């Protein structure tokens, strides 16, 4: 299991310092939430914020594009530290082509599913994806409450992965905290996104340690 704190919840006036704190505490990945105000009802930041961290941290970037027309912007998020670029199935009319586009720029390809989107929409691309992100809140804002049905969705996805012998990573994002993280990792999640529960803590480094102790 790996922990991916989401910088959406960080204090942007101290972004470099807070990223250094999570890295020293043992976090594995930086989750980069990109919102355009169209696909989701919020605007976050673009590639410039992520690129400002290049060379200042050794952690890889896990880019989550909550945007319309993601193909137009993929290259902006490609750096030597970009591990995954994840797009939403709901935003991609030609999902297979978009996944090939991501892989074509040398990055691992991920697909995110909103809470109401069934797993069946990925039946014909499971062999193409490196990561599947299960949204456990409706995307657009940090600090939301975990949607319980996401746990069943993870369990079903883990069963599909096992039966079809697929190699994709299962990620979860939304409302993850110290009280529910063990449930999602037991269900099959390998990459855990945590935003406000990490960056909203009084001691960020200690909170990362508390998460890792539960993995």
Give the residue numbers annotated as catalytic, written as ranges. Answer: 33, 173
| 104 annotated to a ligand binding site | no
| 31 annotated to a ligand binding site | yes
Handedness of CA 143, 151, 172, 188 (dihedral sign): positive
| 96 annotated to a ligand binding site | no
| DSSP symbols for 72-88 | GTGGGG--TTEEEEEEE
| 44 annotated to a ligand binding site | no
Cα gap 137→176, rounded to integer Å:
10
| 142 annotated to a ligand binding site | yes
| 62 annotated to a ligand binding site | no
CA distances for 161 relative to 31, 123, 129, 171, 209, angstroms: 23, 11, 11, 13, 29
| 165 annotated to a ligand binding site | no
Q: What is the CA radius of gyration of the chain?
A: 16
CA atoms within 13 A on the CB side of 215: 17
Is residue 140 within 8 A of residue 35, CB to CB? The reply is yes
In 96-197, beta strands by DSSP E: 108-113, 131-135, 169-173, 191-194
| 38 annotated to a ligand binding site | no
| 195 annotated to a ligand binding site | yes
3-class DSSP assignment, residue 71? helix
| 26 annotated to a ligand binding site | no
Residue ranges at the known binding site for a divalent metal cation = 31, 33, 64, 173
Residue ranges at the known binding site = 6, 31, 33, 64, 140-143, 173-175, 195-196
């Amino acid at each position: 299991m790996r922990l991916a704190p989401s910088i959406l919840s960080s204090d942007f006036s101290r972004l470099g310092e807070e990223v250094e704190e999570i890295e020293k505490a043992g976090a594995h990945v930086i989750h980069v939430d990109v919102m355009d105000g169209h696909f989701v009802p919020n605007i976050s930041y673009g590639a410039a914020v992520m690129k400002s961290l290049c060379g200042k941290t050794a952690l890889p970037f896990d880019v989550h594009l909550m945007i319309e027309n993601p193909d137009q912007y993929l290259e902006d998020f490609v750096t030597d530290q970009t591990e995954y670029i994840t797009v939403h199935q709901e935003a991609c009319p030609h999902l297979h082509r978009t996944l090939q586009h991501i892989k074509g720029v040398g990055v691992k390809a991920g697909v995110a599913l909103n809470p109401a989107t069934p797993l069946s929409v990925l039946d014909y691309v499971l062999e193409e994806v490196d990561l599947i992100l299960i949204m456990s809140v409706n995307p657009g804002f940090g600090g939301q409450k975990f949607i319980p049905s996401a746990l069943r969705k993870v369990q079903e996805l883990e069963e599909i992965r096992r039966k079809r012998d697929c190699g994709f990573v299962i990620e979860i994002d939304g409302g993850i905290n110290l009280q529910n993280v063990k449930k999602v990792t037991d269900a099959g999640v390998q990459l855990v996104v945590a935003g406000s529960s990490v960056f909203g803590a009084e001691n960020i480094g200690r909170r990362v340690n508390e998460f890792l102790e539960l993995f």
